[in-house]
Chains A and B, each alone.
Chain A
Amino acid sequence: MGAVAYAPKVVTIWEGFKAWFAQQGFAFDYVLYSNYEAQVEAQFDGTLHLAWNSPLAWVRADRMARSRGQSVQAVAMRNTDCNLRSVIVVRADSPIQSEADLRGRTLGVGAIDSPQATLLPLHHLRQAGLTGGEDFTVRRFDVLSGKHGDHIGGERDAAKALIAGEVDASCMIDGNHLAFGLDGTLPAGATRIIARTEPYDHCNFTTSPDAPQAAIDRFVELLLSMQWDDPQVRPLLELEGLKKWKPGRTEFYPALATAVDEQGFYGPDGSILRADYRY
């Protein structure tokens, strides 16, 4: 399995899961990547049977597979990957009341490859008739690109820039809006939400086209059997940010796929189009 090392805890998580799988008699190992692009490509050269993918990595893997006449499956995800929303936030005293008021203004977004803090909010605004770079200025807070926004530094920097008056509005995932409020990054009462995206899903375990089905089935079976009550896995589930694993689903990814096309991020075959994307 492939995973992206967006933080040191990733080693703790997968070493822990590896030991747990071994106790269940299941031979499992993982490979860490510094970015999702290399990981997805490794799904097509026989290196990986499956990968723990960001939603953007899922979109790319799905496109690469389809363009080759193959298929990939989203076999499992966290309970916390379902029905997320992103929000666009302004300062409480801002004259901006709705999406339309952003015309001519500056919007702070996260990393170039962040679904939640860049791609999906910009897609939301486009649906409202505003195109980033044309109708309003996009100021990117690129932190650790290639990690698809898993590192929340970009979102936090955009939130700080909002409070500092450097941007007129900022984008973030709903959970971070709460977290930034609780940790004081966004002082209570200092901001106001002007827009929220439609619900979307986040990460999933994506199979590789040539993955052996029996091993994948056993992996998913064991994964879904993990219990929060089990003190051995509970700390790992906490680190990974879930209460339980759920079967994968893909019906909440199309908005992101549209955003990818609108913003010219990947081509229909999963090729990387953005020249300013460094990973």
Chain B
Amino acid sequence: MAQTEAFSVPTIDIEALGLDEGGLLLVRRALAALPAGERLSVRGRAPEWDLQLTAWCRQQGHDVETQVLADGVLEAVVTRGPWAEGRWRGALDTGHSRLAEGEMPAETADPAWGLAARGATVEAGGPSIGFGLSRRDDLWAATAGDLYRQAAAAQWDPETAIDWAAPFDLPPAIEAAVAQVMTYLIENENAALVVPARHLGQVHPQYREVQQVLALQCADEARHIEVFTRRLGLRGQAPRLSTAGGQASLHTLMLAPDFSSATFLLGVLGEGSFITLLTFLQNHAPDPVTRQICRLTARDEARHVAFAMAHLEHRLAVQPDYQTRLQNAVEQRHDELADTAGLNEEVFDALVLLAAGDLNPAAVARGHLAVQQLKLDMAAGRRARLLRLGFAPAEAQRLADLHTRNFM
């Protein structure tokens, strides 16, 4: 394509390129560089190209006249119509794509911004898309972008990250205990997948970093479900008992009244406790595969907890009285679960057995002591996180103790 300034009318030569072979792109680009009302001369040699150009100009609202030049070449002179500018009139500004250091996205996200990339200019008149989470302080975390990048870099492939062929042979009672613990872990991870997934679809794309963190959180949990399931069946075991009390506890997470409360109950308290549990299993698991799984999943859970903490820190900084709502959420969940059994006996016994490694009384005593210590460690962790969120020490202790006996 040659572009000249003959007779002061910009001219392009599309040579033998048909308009339906890419020629339209050259015409569009040349016209876009001109103000409305200006003319563009187009020359070409493709058969009947002028007919297609005329049809296209009619659709686009450009005037066009064609003539055969002295050298036999067909020329079309297109006068640019004013229509393309219409889309920019009254268009909506959606903020900055990349946030500067300390910069936050918009305080509220306009439904009319729809699915546009943050930073895009949105044509007026488009659909209003209702996202339930469209106020920044309801979901924002200052470190969301960093946590997303860490999560993206830390994704692991269950196939290669774990040595599934590592040799081990466990007594049937111990293998059965592993199967029971895995059954329990899977249903907890189902909750940890479903809860953020429900919120994810409600996050306005203005808050891209949070959307990305939640998406990877879901991917993490999907992977955890896979590896726990795979370990469960590795020696031919089938999933074991899922109790009403355990499910009731997880169900309350799905009923949390808003994103912040759900993130608090699931992330700060539940997954926070789970890190301690997974670390316990990493230390006490009887086989190398389970130990590897627990090490990798605990690493992912730590990121989830970090996001939950960062979000609650933001929320409480802008809305200090929200602390009362969090207290209420813990108390309400405790009341709802008061009549349930808490951690089922099978899981408790399985944890004791894994820590014991044997059924003789001395070993069981050791195992029992280890699980008691696990519970204390979990509660201490919860208390520490509550203190970091600004709860007074006594209140932090009280809320840490009110947390579900089901751990998550």
Q: Which residues of A contact B (CB under 8 A)?
A: 79-80, 82-85, 87, 173-175, 177-178, 181-182, 186, 188-189, 192-193, 196, 227-232, 234-235, 241, 243-244
Contacts and interface: CB of A to CB of B under 8 A. Distances in A.
A80 B59 contact: yes
A181 B19 contact: yes
Interface of B: 18-21, 24, 47-48, 51-52, 54-56, 58-61, 81-83, 85-87, 89-90, 123-125
Contacts of A230: 125
A186 B48 CA distance: 15
A85 B50 CA distance: 12
A124 to B, nearest CB: 14
B18 A189 contact: yes
A178 B58 contact: no
Given A80-B58, A182-B20, A243-B61, A174 B51 contact: yes
Contacts of A186: 20
A188 B55 contact: no
* SS of B interface (majority): helix
Contact of B125 (A85, A192, A232, A241): A232
10 contacts: A174-B54, A175-B58, A177-B51, A181-B20, A182-B20, A188-B18, A228-B83, A232-B125, A241-B59, A243-B60
A218 to B, nearest CB: 25
Contacts of A241: 59
Contacts of B20: 178, 181-182, 186, 188
Contacts of B124: 231
A89 to B, nearest CB: 9
Nearest to B46: A189
A70 to B, nearest CB: 33
Contacts of B83: 228, 243
B81 A243 contact: yes
Given A178-B20, A196-B48, 4 more contacts: A87-B51, A181-B20, A181-B21, A234-B86
A231 B86 CA distance: 8
Contacts of B90: 229, 231
Contacts of B82: 228
Contacts of B52: 174, 177-178, 181
A193 B51 contact: yes
Contacts of A192: 47-48
A235 B86 CA distance: 11
Nearest to A231: B125
A85 B57 CA distance: 13
Contacts of B51: 85, 87, 174, 177, 193, 196
A165 to B, nearest CB: 21
A175 B59 contact: yes
Contacts of A80: 58-59
B89 A229 contact: yes
Contacts of B60: 243
Nearest to B90: A231
B56 A178 contact: yes
A231 B59 contact: no
Contacts of A83: 54, 58
A87 B81 CA distance: 26
A182 B25 CA distance: 11
A261 B151 CA distance: 73
Contacts of A188: 18, 20-21
A244 B83 CA distance: 9
Residue of B19, B81, B87, B125 most packed against chain A (CB within 10 A): B125
B89 A193 contact: no
A261 B193 CA distance: 70
A181 B18 contact: yes
B61 A231 contact: no
B125 A235 contact: yes
B55 A177 contact: yes
B21 A82 contact: no
Contacts of A182: 20, 24
A83 B65 CA distance: 12
B139 to A, nearest CB: 29
Contacts of A232: 125
A174 B60 CA distance: 14
B1 to A, nearest CB: 17
A207 to B, nearest CB: 25
A229 B124 CA distance: 10
A227 B87 CA distance: 12
A229 B87 CA distance: 7
Contacts of B58: 79-80, 82-84, 175
A199 B359 CA distance: 95
A84, A181, A229, A241 pick with most chain B CB within 10 angstroms: A229
A234 B125 contact: yes
A93 to B, nearest CB: 13
Q: List the 8 shortest-distance A-B pairs measured between CB atoms, nearest first.
A: A181-B20, A231-B125, A243-B61, A231-B124, A174-B55, A175-B55, A188-B21, A178-B52
B263 to A, nearest CB: 37
A216 to B, nearest CB: 26
